[in-house]
Each structure stands twice: as structure tokens, then as C-alpha cells.
């Protein structure tokens, strides 16, 4: 067995990916192109109008503008991109560090309501390992945020561990808890296909607010009359908490680098996930940038399927 540090190098896509779909809230058609990027680029959205880039927005919690039913990032000029969490979850879940995300709408397409189609597209083209060492946000001190009976916390940890618990009054969902040592394999097989969900009783209210205009049974698990309304049923046991974990992976990607820490949430959502990151960055003593050990140069592209790093050296 090689003693090479797993996940030691930064990554990007091996080739460009083009995707089309519909915005779940706007109902508008969307085209997205994922472009390979150089080391230390990070994940960056390129918003276009009539084929021209009008804004470049880094996927970072400092750029969060709205957290109503989805995560919206934007610039100071008012350009925004919403529903970024499922795509960011796929990128962070598969350990992709650097990418330009070109988009011609205000919302990332919902696809099937999960990260599955993004993962499948990435798996088709492959992931390219770069020569520069991977960098991490390493949690140094516990951080906890509470709001309205919900709470979220980050603690020091040598890898990336997720522990997510939900508690709904609906007997269809109830109380569910899931814990994973996150890795590309775990994300791909246990998390990526979990779909967003909602209650039929909320639909009319959302439509009046101009939300969920593109939601239907092809991209949302709908709950009504005490049952799941989708004919095919659920994809996983506990699909609801798995989707909440998927959302958390995407929201925590807004740290700007992979996290070395353990995340725990109870009745969380986009707002709470964002608040925990904001609390982390509010005090410079809470975190540091850690860098993986240097390894010998790689001469050819490498398909990354191994788990992300479980440790890093400062």
C-alpha cells in the first residue's frame, strides 16, 4: 500500500461539463457550464447575460445574500445566484476544489431535486489532480449557534464528520438522525440521490410568494394526506435527513475550502448552516488554514475516487 497522503493535492474537472434544467423557484430554464480551473481558484460562479460575463461571485459565506428556502449568493451590485447548495454539495462531496461555474440565470437548475445528476456528469468526465497541495479550513475551537430551538456546532476534528438530526411534527418524517465520516464514496452512494422535500399544504403559500414555481413530483418529495405523494416512494431509508445532510455539505462548502472539523446540527437548515460558518469566521482564533503534505508531482490526470484527507499538517 502506498504511503501517499490521500487527497493531498487540489483537484478540478478533467473536462468541461454542460447542463440544462429548470429553476425550482423561478420556473425558468437555466444553462450551466462547469469549467476546469487552476489551483487556488476555488469555486466561482460566472453569471452571464446574452453571452457576456456580468459578475464573478466566489462561493463563500461572505457573499450570502438570502437564505429563504435555499442558499443565495451575490455581489454588491445586486447580481445573485440561488439554489447553489445541491451543486456545491456535489463538488465538495466529490472533493473538487477549483471550478468556474458559468450560469445564465439567477438560479442553479434543480435537476431531480438532489445532487445525483451533477455527480453522474462529474463521474462521466472525471476529476483531474493538480500539482498544488490541498488547503483546508481547520477548526481549532468549538463553535455553536442556537436559534429558536435549533442548533448547529463545529468542533475540531481530523477529518470531515457530519451528524445531522431533524424533528418534524409530521409522522411521515418524524425524528431522524444520520452520522457519517464524509468521503466521496459516502457522498456518492449514501447522500447524493436524496431529494428536496415539501408539504402539499405549503404549496399555495409558496406560489403566492413567487417561490417553488418550478417544483413538481419530478424534483421534489411531496408530503400530503399523511403519506409521500410520489408514486415511486422514497429512494433511501431516512431520505429526508439525508437530504438535510446534502444541504449541509453544500452550505458548508461556502467556507471556501474543505473543512477539517465535525459538524453537528439539530433541526437545522440553510440559515443555521450559514450562521455556524459566520460564527466560525467571526473570531480568527477559531480556525486556521492547513495544508496537506507535499508529494511528488503527478505526470498524468488521476481519477479521484478515494476518501478525502483525514488529516492535514499546518
In the numeric block, which cell numbers belong to residue 245?
445532510
- 238 vs 175: CA distance, rounded Å: 10
Instruction: Specify the 3-state DSSP secondary structure of 220.
Output: coil
Is 25 assigned to a binding site?
no
Is 86 assigned to a binding site?
yes
Is 189 assigned to a binding site?
no
Q: Which of 25, 35, 60, 270 is catalytic?
A: 270
- Cell 445525483, located at residue: 116
Run of H or E including 238: none
Beta bridge partners of 64: 73
Q: What's the length of the chain?
A: 314
Question: What radius of gyration, in Å, describes the C-alpha atoms of the chain?
Answer: 19
Does 25 participate in catalysis according to the annotation? no
Strands 99-103 and 43-49: parallel
CA dihedral for 301, 38, 279, 265, sign (positive or negative): negative
**Distance (Å) of CA 267 to CA 150, 236, 300:** 5, 20, 44
- Cell 463521474, located at residue: 123
Q: Is 112 exposed, middle or buried (0-12, 13-18, 19+ CB in 10 A)?
A: middle
| Residues involved in catalysis | 270
**Would you list which residues are annotated within the binding site for Zn(2+)?**
86, 243, 247
**Would you list which residues are annotated within the binding site?**
86, 243, 247
Amino acid at each position: 500500500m502506498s504511503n501517499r497522503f490521500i487527497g493531498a493535492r487540489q483537484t478540478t474537472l478533467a473536462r468541461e461539463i454542460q447542463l440544462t434544467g429548470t429553476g425550482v423557484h423561478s420556473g425558468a430554464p437555466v444553462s450551466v457550464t462547469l469549467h476546469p480551473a487552476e489551483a487556488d481558484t476555488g469555486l466561482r460562479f460566472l453569471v452571464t447575460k446574452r453571452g457576456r460575463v456580468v459578475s464573478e461571485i466566489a462561493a463563500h459565506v461572505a457573499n450570502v445574500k438570502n437564505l429563504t428556502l435555499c442558499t443565495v449568493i451575490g455581489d454588491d451590485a445586486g447580481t445573485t445566484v440561488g439554489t447553489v447548495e445541491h451543486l456545491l454539495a456535489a463538488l465538495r462531496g466529490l472533493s473538487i476544489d477549483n471550478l468556474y461555474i458559468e450560469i445564465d440565470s439567477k438560479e442553479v437548475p434543480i435537476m431531480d431535486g438532489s445532487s445525483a445528476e451533477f455527480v453522474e456528469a462529474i463521474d462521466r468526465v472525471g476529476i483531474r489532480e493538480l500539482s498544488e497541495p490541498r488547503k483546508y479550513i481547520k477548526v481549532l475551537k468549538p463553535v455553536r449557534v442556537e436559534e429558536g430551538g435549533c442548533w448547529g456546532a463545529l468542533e475540531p476534528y481530523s477529518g470531515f464528520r457530519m451528524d445531522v438530526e431533524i424533528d418534524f411534527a409530521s409522522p411521515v418524517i418524524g425524528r431522524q438522525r444520520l452520522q457519517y465520516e464524509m468521503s466521496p464514496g459516502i457522498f456518492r452512494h449514501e447522500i447524493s440521490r436524496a431529494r428536496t422535500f415539501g408539504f402539499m399544504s405549503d404549496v399555495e403559500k409558496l406560489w403566492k410568494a413567487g417561490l417553488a414555481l418550478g417544483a413538481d413530483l419530478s424534483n421534489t418529495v411531496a408530503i400530503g394526506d399523511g403519506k409521500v405523494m410520489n408514486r415511486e416512494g422514497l429512494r433511501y431509508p431516512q431520505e429526508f435527513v439525508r437530504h438535510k445532510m446534502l444541504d449541509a455539505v453544500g452550505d458548508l462548502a461556502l467556507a471556501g475550502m474543505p473543512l477539517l472539523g465535525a459538524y453537528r446540527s439539530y433541526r437545522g437548515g440553510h440559515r443555521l448552516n450559514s450562521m455556524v460558518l459566520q460564527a466560525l469566521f467571526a473570531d480568527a482564533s477559531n480556525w486556521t488554514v492547513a495544508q496537506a503534505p507535499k508529494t511528488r508531482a503527478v505526470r498524468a490526470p488521476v481519477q479521484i475516487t478515494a476518501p478525502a484527507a483525514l488529516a492535514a499538517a499546518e
